[in-house]
């Protein structure tokens, strides 16, 4: 079984979502199905069809989260150190073309949120940075073209 890296915070968020789906969403959908059944003929009952679709989504998401939690390899950035970019690191890079610095934390797929400056370890940016050290230059291959960047700082928070 292949391990799925995630931070402790990402793991906690998935556990919280799973708990909410099981304790709140699942009973709510069951109630919606029962209510729709009470309206009679199921063959022409759009409410029933919508509730069953929602139930399928909720149950699918529960299975997906359970699978991810079972395969989780929790990495706490606070336990890491050094000047090399690894999963969990917060990296500041200098983009030569944009003449600008950017800071990202490298996290798991479910934690990625560009607005929060968190990028997936599988993203082109993270793949170009992982394994590099402060002062190294690397090329980020992106759909809009290659970008040459320099690793300015690596932190583990």
Highest mean pLDDT among 57-66, 72-81, 141-150: 57-66
CATH of domain 4-75: 1.10.287.180
pLDDT tens digits, 19-71: 999 999 999 999 999 988 887 777 778 888 899 999 999 999 999 999 999 99
pTM exceeds 0.85, yes or no: no
Q: Check the CA dihedral 70-1-132-144 and report its sign.
A: negative
Is residue 73 a contact partner of residue 3, using CB atoms and an 8 Å limit?
A: yes
Topology at the third CATH level for domain 77-155:
Chitinase A; domain 3 (3.10.50)
C-alpha span between 111 and 115 (Å, rounded): 11
Residue 19: strand, helix, or coil: helix
Q: Domain residue spans in the chain?
A: 4-75, 77-155
Helix axes 46-71, 26-37, angle to 10 degrees: 160
Equal fold, 4-75 vs 77-155: no
What are the angstrom distances between the C-alpha of 134 and each of 44, 75, 119, 125? 64, 21, 19, 16
pLDDT given at position 12: 95
């Amino acid at each position: 079984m292949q391990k799925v890296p995630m931070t402790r915070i990402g793991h906690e968020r998935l556990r919280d979502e799973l708990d909410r789906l099981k304790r709140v969403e699942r009973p709510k959908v069951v109630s919606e199905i029962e209510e729709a059944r009470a309206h009679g003929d199921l063959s022409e009952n759009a409410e029933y069809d919508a509730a069953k679709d929602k139930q399928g989504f909720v149950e699918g998401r529960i299975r997906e989260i359970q699978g991810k939690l079972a395969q989780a390899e929790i990495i706490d950035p606070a336990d890491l150190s050094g000047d090399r970019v690894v999963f969990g690191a917060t990296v500041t890079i200098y983009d030569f073309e944009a003449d600008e610095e950017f800071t990202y934390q490298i996290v798991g797929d479910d934690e990625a949120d560009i607005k929060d400056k968190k990028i997936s370890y599988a993203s082109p940016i993270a793949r170009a940075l992982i394994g590099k050290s402060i002062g190294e230059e690397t090329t980020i291959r992106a759909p809009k073209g290659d970008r040459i960047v320099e690793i300015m700082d690596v932190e583990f928070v």
